[in-house]
Structure 1
Amino acid sequence: MTGVLPRQGIAQLIESGAIRADTPIRPEQIQPASLDLRLGRVAYRVRASFLAGDGRRVEDRLAEFEMHRIDLDQGAVLEKGCVYVVPLMERLALPDGIQAVANAKSSTGRLDLLTRLIADGGTEFDRIAPGHDGPLYAEICPRSFSVLVRPGMRLNQIRFRAGQAVLDDAALADLHAREPLVDGEALISEGLGFSVDLSPALAACAGFRAKPHAGVIDLDRIGHYEVSEFWEAVPSPKGRVILDPGAFYILVSREAVTIPPAYAAEMAPYLAMAGEFRVHYAGFFDPGFGHASARGKGSRGVLEVRCHEAPFVLEHGQVVGRLVYEKMAEIPDQLYGAGIASNYQGQGLKLSKQFRAP
């Protein structure tokens, strides 16, 4: 069996003890092609981001970099601009032949809440090698807003795959010919390219820019916050936006994307030579996203954009990212948007679920 493990395969890993937790894993954590990971009861404020390194334990590195500990049981604020490490409730004992990759959940990325997985012996963020046996940790750095967190909150997610099943350009073109992946011409080059929508129809509000001195966001409060308290609208009267260095933007793709049930996708960072900006912090697209079999008619990709060193002009239709598709080991027994709480099926320009609809 080769490909991304579906929810029923993840359930089998839990039953076998390859994924385990002292607090039982809840059914709603298991997504069509990933598992949501839960924060534990303590956060460590550290001096800097770090990786454990080959042959070393995260626990030992924490002793080097810890500044102080924060009890999360009653809720605690993780402050903007600081770095925290939080032990997760889940731990792994992966069998040989099964590797894992993690990513921030959609709502996490839309809050500019940089969340990455680290583990003992790790030399990369968000990557767990076959045979790994040990605890997991989330490194969290709030970049635009301070956030209130509690134990059990789910900020990142993990996928499991057997072997490599990434579609090359020829296979992706064949899939698009059989089942259109975008509502228009497909730009296929090391994945499916997508562009930014700054069309005249969105001239008054083509996106949102995070306000620099906003208040705290309680991640448990859904549909609670007024957009205007945390975001300012970004107009594009001439079909372009000038990105400011260090600012964080929420924009939307021009293309409506589809992920067929037998496939999963991940948003990959675009080449640096394309401009002084980065797109993508939350990057998993589940089987059924935007697909008709899961009550979808194509869904736009929300773009989390941060400009780097110099102001940069982003123009309507400019290619800003790509989706890498890979085969599922088998079709999930439940698809994204079909009978599960899928907040972003059929989405357009949309902020995280904590905000009221503008």
Structure 2
Amino acid sequence: MAYPPGVLASQQIQGLVAQGAISAPPLIEGQVQPASLDLRLGTVAYRVRASFLPGSGQRLLDRLPEFEMHRIDLTEGAVLEKGAVYLVPLQEALDLPEDLSAVANAKSSTGRLDLLTRTVTDGGAEFDRIAPGYTGPLYAEICPRSFSVLVRPGMRLNQIRFRAGEATLNDQALRALHNATPLVDGAAVIGDGLGFSVDLTPGKSELVGWRAKPHSGVIDLDRLGHYAPRDFWEAIRTDKRRIVLDPGAFYILVSREAVTIPPTHAAEMAPYLAMVGEFRVHYAGFFDPGFGHGTPARGVLEVRCHEAPFVLEDGQVVGRLIYETMSQVPETLYGQDMASNYQGQGLKLSKHFAAP
């Protein structure tokens, strides 16, 4: 069937499953999001000595013996260790029609744990990008950067979106959308997307962010609201409206702007902008239709500094939101028709941590 141009909505994703374009065990509640599908871990993890891509015309499992160190059975749960690289076959596979492509990304809670998770396909020459008409399995490459994690089959660390045709709004279309439905609660900085800045204005406690501690325990990804932030995070406080990012350290910060994603659109945060500093600002870049709609929500920034210490100042532009048109308006919207952990959020750690 032909799809209107744009990002496919929840009901269209359900249709892909019914048609066999997505093959998987029966879907579970909450797996289909307004504009994406959560992907589930399989039963085995391959510890590899380095990240790699299969390359054009090559199957991942054919190249795996070059890099495999050992295999881990996930059936009863297993720890993926900080600093190691793993490949996990996913339960979902694809048989896409020629007019559909896909893009994957880490889920919000995955990114906030500094758990680098990328999707790999057979014949893949890029992470997280699935070519139109792709047929074959999906794999998750997982590299815990700050914390070792306990995982089990069926856990959902990454998600996938499907696109028909061209979905990205140019700056002219983005300005028109902002004029019709304000996308931020202040002046819109539009240029190759919607700019957003960092909020380092101290509150009463002078708390402006969190920095991951270098030595901490294992996080069981099934335990929600369980861990004390102080055991894993150092509170970042300032009265000067600036902080110095340390190379290699991982920070949770928040945008100054409250962001709105209308039901007719989705958005993706650009993960890295070399022109504003040598740091990455986001690992989990999907914003669903309905995010912040009616309940303003700020964007949480997952920041890792590279190369050299960098002074980050309050109000500094640190990234862009790229808006896309939906192929259809989703039948379920983020934070309104479905449970959501981060609607109306401010500075917030992942759902695994108790309130500070």
Aligned to 1:355: 353
SS in 2 for 1:161: strand
Aligned to 2:86: 84
Q: Tell me which amino acid in the other structure corresponds to 2:326.
A: M
Give the alignment of 1:217-232 within 5 angstroms. 217-232=219-234
> 1: CA distance between counterparts of 2:97 and 2:344?
37
SS in 1 for 2:111: helix
- TM-aligned CA deviation for residue 316 of structure 1: 0.1
Is 1:182 the counterpart of 2:184 in the alignment? yes
Aligned to 1:263: 265
Aligned to 1:51: 53
Is 1:4 the counterpart of 2:7 in the alignment? yes
Alpha-carbon distance change, 248 to 264 in structure 1, aligned in 2, over 3 angstroms: same
Give the alignment of 1:192-203 within 5 angstroms. 192-201=194-203
> 1: CA distance between counterparts of 2:202 and 2:150?
37
Give the alignment of 1:250-289 within 5 angstroms. 250-289=252-291
Aligned to 1:244: 246
| CA displacement 1:11-38 (0-9 Å, x = unmatched) | 00000000011x2222420000000000
- TM-aligned CA deviation for residue 271 of structure 1: 2.0
- TM-aligned CA deviation for residue 275 of structure 1: 1.1
Number of residue pairs the alignment of both structures matches? 353
Is 1:332 the counterpart of 2:335 in the alignment? no
> 2: CA distance between counterparts of 1:120 and 1:134?
7
- TM-aligned CA deviation for residue 202 of structure 1: 6.6
Alpha-carbon distance change, 27 to 16 in structure 1, aligned in 2, over 3 angstroms: farther
Q: Residues 107 and 353 of structure 1 are in contact (CA less than 8 Å); yes or no, is this contact kept in structure 2?
A: yes
Give the alignment of 1:298-337 within 5 angstroms. 298-337=296-335
Q: Tell me which amino acid in the other structure corresponds to 1:317.
A: G
Which range moved further: 24-33 or 163-172?
Answer: 24-33
| CA displacement 1:88-146 (0-9 Å, x = unmatched) | 00000000100000000000000000000000000000000111111000000000000
Q: Residues 100 and 159 of structure 1 are in contact (CA less than 8 Å); yes or no, is this contact kept in structure 2?
A: yes
| CA displacement 1:211-247 (0-9 Å, x = unmatched) | 0001000000000000000001011210000000100
| CA displacement 1:293-332 (0-9 Å, x = unmatched) | xxx2x10000000011111000000000110001000100
5+ residue gaps, structure 2: none
Percent of counterpart pairs with the same letter?
Answer: 73
Q: Tell me which amino acid in the other structure corresponds to 2:105.
A: N
- TM-aligned CA deviation for residue 203 of structure 1: 6.4
Aligned to 1:343: 341
Q: Residues 208 and 231 of structure 1 are in contact (CA less than 8 Å); yes or no, is this contact kept in structure 2?
A: yes
Q: Residues 203 and 239 of structure 1 are in contact (CA less than 8 Å); yes or no, is this contact kept in structure 2?
A: no
> 1: CA distance between counterparts of 2:103 and 2:282?
15
> 2: CA distance between counterparts of 1:256 and 1:155?
25
SS in 2 for 1:209: strand
5+ residue gaps, structure 1: none
Is 1:20 the counterpart of 2:23 in the alignment? yes
Match 1:208 to one of 198, 210, 230: 210
SS in 1 for 2:231: helix
SS in 2 for 1:321: strand
SS in 2 for 1:199: coil
> 2: CA distance between counterparts of 1:216 and 1:271?
32
SS in 2 for 1:206: strand
- TM-aligned CA deviation for residue 273 of structure 1: 2.2
> 1: CA distance between counterparts of 2:275 and 2:65?
39
> 1: CA distance between counterparts of 2:227 and 2:261?
31
Q: Tell me which amino acid in the other structure corresponds to 1:135.
A: P
- TM-aligned CA deviation for residue 200 of structure 1: 3.2
> 2: CA distance between counterparts of 1:278 and 1:130?
28
Q: Tell me which amino acid in the other structure corresponds to 2:98.
A: D
Aligned to 1:163: 165
Q: Residues 202 and 235 of structure 1 are in contact (CA less than 8 Å); yes or no, is this contact kept in structure 2?
A: no
- Runs (4 or more) in structure 1 with deviation over 6 Å come to none
SS in 1 for 2:15: helix
TM-score, scaled relative to structure 1: 0.97
SS in 2 for 1:228: helix
- TM-aligned CA deviation for residue 269 of structure 1: 2.4
Aligned to 1:37: 39
Which range moved further: 25-34 or 67-76?
Answer: 25-34
| CA displacement 1:326-352 (0-9 Å, x = unmatched) | 100010001000131211000000000
TM-score, scaled relative to structure 2: 0.98
Aligned to 1:107: 109
SS in 2 for 1:174: helix
Q: Residues 202 and 236 of structure 1 are in contact (CA less than 8 Å); yes or no, is this contact kept in structure 2?
A: no
Q: Residues 226 and 356 of structure 1 are in contact (CA less than 8 Å); yes or no, is this contact kept in structure 2?
A: yes
Give the root-mean-square deviation of aligned CA atoms.
Answer: 0.8
Which range moved further: 25-34 or 190-199?
Answer: 25-34
SS in 1 for 2:30: helix
